[in-house]
Chains A and B, each alone.
Chain A
Amino acid sequence: DAGVIQSPRHEVTEMGQEVTLRCKPISGHNSLFWYRQTMMRGLELLIYFNNNVPIDDSGMPEDRFSAKMPNASFSTLKIQPSEPRDSAVYFCASRRQGETGNTIYFGEGSWLTVV
């Protein structure tokens, strides 16, 4: 299996610009998660989907953040407009819903720097 695929791996953008991060979950997995990792706050859950439906977006920090999952094999996390404090590593992860033990598999992350 190819694993969770994220793009871009690295992005540097100017404050105010729109940023779109992309994720392809593992085939057959029907739960998808977006996490953000920073030195100060550690690993935070932003939003997760089950069967393409957003279940909990309480971790999304502000209205500037939005996430979509138009189909089972693709999700986006968008930041508009971006700010320097959004600089972080954004991880996408997926899981087969109902799998015993709920193992979540992570992508390699998208490293975002907003200047």
Chain B
Amino acid sequence: AQSVTQLDSQVPVFEEAPVELRCNYSSSVSVYLFWYVQYPNQGLQLLLKYLSGSTLVKGINGFEAEFNKSQTSFHLRKPSVHISDTAEYFCAVSYRNSGNTPLVFGKGTRLSVIA
């Protein structure tokens, strides 16, 4: 069965500092990987996704993530955060080559950017 572990429930960081939000997954088959962002009082928006090809994926708002198959990780990074990046970030996984199964989400990491 698939599962997603987000190792940090909260990450405080100062404005303009770099940040890394960690995500590890477990699956016995190949997967697609996603990061979603949820701003306060809003729904989830897709930030980026890894399907195949280059292991470094670039998303919106300057975020990027790197797929590491040997470490079963998909950590999210940004070199310099802004106050507006304050939000909850969710890592998610689904089976490769399946159009029918839903995403499995991690419990989320709350990023707080401090001025």
- Segment among B12-20, B67-75, B101-109 that sits at the interface with chain A: B101-109
**In the complex, B51 has a CB within 8 A of chain A:** yes
Q: Is B84 an interface residue (CB 8 A)?
A: no
* Nearest residue, chain B, Cβ from A98: B99
B44, B51, B94: the one within 8 Å of A91 (CB): B44
Per-residue interface assignment for chain A, residues 35 to 53, with 1 indicating a CB less than 8 Å from any chain B CB and 0 otherwise: 0000000110100101000
Q: What total count of A-B pairs have CB within 8 Å?
A: 51
Q: How far apart sit A42 and B107, CA to CA, in the bound complex (Å)?
A: 5
Query: What bracket does the count of chain B residues touching chain A fall in?
Result: 20 to 34
B105, A97: Cβ atoms closer than 8 Å: no
B46 within 8 A of A: yes
**Which of A13-21, A68-76, A101-109 forms part of the interface with chain B?**
A101-109
Residues of A in contact, count (CB < 8 Å): 25
State A106–B47 Cα separation when bound (angstroms): 13
Bound form: Cα–Cα A109–B51 in Å: 27
A103 shortest CB reach to chain B, Å: 6
Contact check, B102 vs A48: say whether CB atoms are below 8 A apart: yes
**Distance (Å) between the CB of B65 and the closest chain A CB?**
14
Among A43, A45, A55, A99, chain B packs the most CB atoms within 10 A around the CB of A43
Q: Are A103 and B46 in contact (CB under 8 A)?
A: yes
Q: How far is the CB of A21 from chain B (nearest CB, A)?
A: 14
CB within 8 Å for A31 and B43 given contacts A43-B108, A100-B51: no
List chain B positions with a Cβ less than 8 A from chain A. Answer: 32, 34, 36, 42-46, 49, 51, 90, 94, 98-108
Residue positions of A touching B, CB distance < 8 A: 4, 31, 33, 42-43, 45, 48, 50, 55-56, 91, 93, 97-109
